[in-house]
Amino acid sequence: MCFPLGEILGTARSAVAAMLGAPCRGLLDYKTTKFALTRNWRVGLLHRLLQLGVLGYLLGWVLLVRKGYQDTDRAPRASVFTKLKGAAAAEVKGAGRRLWDAADYARPPQGGNVLFLVTNFIATAGQAQGTCPESPSVPAGMCTGDADCTMGEPVVHGNGIKTGKCVMFNTTHSTCEIYGWCPVENNTLSRKPLLAEAENFTLFIRNTVHFTKFNFSRCNVLQTNDPYYFKSCTYDPSLSPSCPIFRVHDMVEAAGETFGDLALLGGSIGVRIEWNCDLDRPATHCQPQYSFSLQDRRYNFRTASYYWDSQRRLYRTLLKLYGIRFDISVHGQAGKFSIIPAAVSFGTGVAFFGAATVVCDLVLLYLDAKADFYWKEKFEELSASGDPPPGTLCSRATWGRCDGDMAAAQVQEALACTRECVLLGWGSACPGATFASAEVLGS
């Protein structure tokens, strides 16, 4: 016996009215993970490849290369001391042959992280303050008459102050007379470096670094009891990596230049000392690495030495020095095991493994040919009372075709199922949502 349509419709209306509160109730829903084993070899292969990639990244890059388990100090304190040794002889115009040693060609003589080595020079000896013609190599000093030489006006890029006279410098050039150091500077440069022997000079570099975070210090000078070791050794990256004595010729070649070309007009070479210390290993493994690079060409400056004659008149010898400037910079880092970076690296690895699973889920649910099937199997909705979701037992057991034998208890069970379904927010998917059809009404 089937129940009247009016009773069924009344119960359904109550359930639909309750459905209006379902969206708010959905805010309290809880989602949990459901694991489903899929026999899809393509997605399975992708998952294993992603896992292998993450594992290789963690073991190869994070742990072995970057040492992600270590705390690091990348700002070491450094001190540099340098010393040049060697001797050369060269002719100085007006002063004869002169011997050059470390006190002459090394500037500053006490050494430091910036050092200048003289390789060529122009000497102007016997200069005294007085009047003389300006050099014709100075455009602002050229003249055709006294009107071109305003008294008291400095010569732009010149050597003194104009006296107001235009005089003959030689048989072909007239220049303004100046008050300055006379005779004016000689600008004739030798075609070959005057201190060509400088390529065999040696540069001693003593470098000490201190990593304050770990209270660790290290020096590049080998600790040895042999007093003759540093008198005979020369740095070689393969044979003598612990010898801090460098041959100038080798340093210039390591920078990609030839000594003859660089020594003629001067230049600048950068010396980089790199310390990479793993403090989880013995301190003897902490050794510096040296590299050399050309920074600039053409480097020179002027200097003078002063003296008095027997008449107490002041003279000087002016030197325009060309040479190689060495700029020494120290860089480095030290690392030591620490639990915090190790935990961070481990957590990052776990997160990457989880990302591999997410990627495979996206492929399975959106890109696979059977995505709809996997979607239905992966996601399932359950009520708190344990009632089955719409489309399963509830609809099959209670909302079958009314054949005249449906008892009152069965109808009440069906209506209760519909009401609970609507309250849970399943809406039109609930069993009995279309019960008004002729098939449901029966006789």
Known binding-site residue numbers for ATP: 83-85, 202, 300-302, 320
pLDDT digits (tens, 9 = 90+) for 170-199: 888 999 999 999 999 988 888 889 999 999
Instruction: For the chain, give the mean pLDDT.
Output: 81
Residue 94 and residue 125: Cα distance in Å, rounded?
Answer: 6
The two three-digit tokens of residue 267, written as one number: 């230049």
CB-side exposure of 116: number of CA atoms within 13 Å? 17
Q: Which of 397, 422, 427 is nearest to 411 (CA)?
A: 397
| pLDDT above 80: residue 429 | no
Known binding-site residue numbers: 83-85, 202, 300-302, 320
Q: Around Cβ 109, how many Cβ atoms within 10 Å? A: 12
Higher pLDDT, 6 or 264: 264
pLDDT digits (tens, 9 = 90+) for 331-367: 999 999 999 998 998 888 888 888 888 888 888 888 8
Q: What's the DSSP call for residue 65?
A: I
**pLDDT average, residue stretch 139-144:** 93
Assign residue 170 a region (left: φ > 0; alpha: ψ between -120 and 50; beta: otherwise): beta
pLDDT of residue 77: 94
Residue 437 and residue 397: Cα distance in Å, rounded?
Answer: 18
Distance of CA 362 to the CA centre of its chain: 35
Burial of 321 (0-12, 13-18, 19+ CB in 10 A): buried
Residue 49 and residue 203: Cα distance in Å, rounded?
Answer: 54
> Could you tell me whether strands 114-133 and 174-182 are parallel, antiparallel, or unpaired per DSSP bridges?
antiparallel
pLDDT digits (tens, 9 = 90+) for 1-41: 444 545 554 555 555 555 545 555 567 777 777 777 778 88
| pLDDT above 50: residue 286 | yes
The two three-digit tokens of residue 390, written as one number: 């719409």
| pLDDT above 90: residue 413 | no
| pLDDT above 60: residue 420 | no
Contact 420/387 with Cβ under 8 angstroms? yes
Q: Which residue has the tokens 């073991």?
A: 59
Contact 85/201 with Cβ under 8 angstroms? yes
Assign residue 157 a region (left: φ > 0; alpha: ψ between -120 and 50; beta: otherwise): left
pLDDT of residue 388: 52
pLDDT of residue 32: 74
pLDDT of residue 164: 93
Length in residues, the chain: 443
The fraction of the chain above a pLDDT of 70, given in percent, is: 79
The fraction of the chain above a pLDDT of 90, given in percent, is: 44
pLDDT digits (tens, 9 = 90+) for 58-69: 888 888 888 888
pLDDT digits (tens, 9 = 90+) for 299-313: 999 999 999 988 889
Residue 45 and residue 315: Cα distance in Å, rounded?
Answer: 89
| pLDDT above 60: residue 135 | yes
pLDDT of residue 403: 41
Residue 114 and residue 321: Cα distance in Å, rounded?
Answer: 16
**pLDDT average, residue stretch 420-427:** 52
Q: Which domains are assigned to the chain?
A: 1-34+383-443 (no CATH), 37-69+338-379 (1.10.287), 77-134+184-336 (2.60.490.10)
pLDDT of residue 15: 53
**Which residues does 61 contact at the CB level (< 8 Å), separation at least 6?**
none
Residue 325 and residue 243: Cα distance in Å, rounded?
Answer: 22
The CA–CA distances, whole Å, from 146 to 184, 347, 406 equal 20, 86, 134
Q: By mean pLDDT, which of 37-41, 87-91, 417-421 is the weakest?
A: 417-421
Residue 193 and residue 306: Cα distance in Å, rounded?
Answer: 25
pLDDT digits (tens, 9 = 90+) for 211-229: 999 999 999 998 888 888 8
Residue 40 and residue 42: Cα distance in Å, rounded?
Answer: 6
Percent helix / strand / coil, the chain, rounded to 5: 35, 30, 35
pLDDT of residue 274: 96
> Residue 36: what are its φ and ψ, rounded to 5°?
-130, 125
Q: Which of 425, 422, 380 is nearest to 27 (CA)?
A: 425
Q: By mean pLDDT, which of 84-88, 200-204, 325-329, 412-416 is the weakest?
A: 412-416
Residue 423 and residue 26: Cα distance in Å, rounded?
Answer: 10
pLDDT digits (tens, 9 = 90+) for 370-399: 888 877 777 776 665 555 554 444 444 444
CB-side exposure of 142: number of CA atoms within 13 Å? 6
| pLDDT above 70: residue 293 | yes
